[in-house]
Copies of this chain bind each other. A is one copy, B any other.
Amino acid sequence: MFDHCLYFNTTALARQLERVWTEAFKPFELTPSQAFTLRAVLEKPGMLHSELADTLKIARATATRAVDGLAARGLLERRATKRDGREWEIHPTPAAVAIKDALNDASGAVTKRLKQDLGDGVFGDFVQQARSITGKLP
């Protein structure tokens, strides 16, 4: 009924992908959101909350809660910055560093599998299109 609707089909696909990546990160007992938050911070230790929000394209409030959760799990910690008392750096703990490679590998493995299932070109084109469309929206 909504076969030609961009909103409908994109959100439906997003929900489906959520399932696939949930499965991929299950061995770590991390949700996709948690895993991507962790991967972002592991890639750039010491990033601020605002940078995290920009990187993940989520609202700052959501970034706060994501960090809360991973800090409670002992995977991230906040450190005050010297230059500005409002800012907090986000650092991975040793426990997080220990799983960094496995985490990236797990995500890479899903990507590789999907590229095979869908065709490498289709996959890449679709992702580029998605990025392009996102960039053109208000």
Q: What's the tally of chain A residues with a CB closer than 8 Å to chain B?
A: 51
Interface contact B131-A3, CB-CB below 8 Å: yes
Report whether A126 and B6 are in contact in the complex, using a CB–CB cutoff of 8 Å.
yes
Instruction: Assess whether A130 is in contact with B7, with CB atoms less than 8 Å apart.
Output: no
* Assembled-state Cα–Cα distance A32/B11 (Å): 11
Residues in B whose Cβ lies below 8 Å from that of A127: 3-6, 9
Contacts of A19 in B (CB 8 A): 137-138
Complex interface residues of chain A between 1 and 41 (CB less than 8 A to chain B): 1-21, 32, 36, 39-40
Q: Does A111 contact B (CB under 8 A)?
A: yes
A12 adjacent to B57 (CB under 8 Å): yes
Say yes or no for A88: interface residue by CB 8 A criterion.
Answer: no
Give chain A's interface secondary structure class. Answer: helix
Shortest Cβ gap from A126 to chain B (Å): 5
- The one of B5, B8, B9, B111 in contact with A6, judged by C-beta atoms closer than 8 angstroms, is B111
CB pair A5–B129 under 8 Å, yes or no, is no
Q: Does A124 contact B (CB under 8 A)?
A: yes
Binds B, one of A65-73, A74-82, A114-122: A114-122
- With A5-B111, A122-B129, A131-B3 given, is the CB distance from A17 to B12 under 8 Å? no
User: How distant is the Cα of A20 from the Cα of B47 in the complex, in angstroms?
Assistant: 30
Q: Are B4 and A124 in contact, with the CB atoms below 8 A?
A: yes
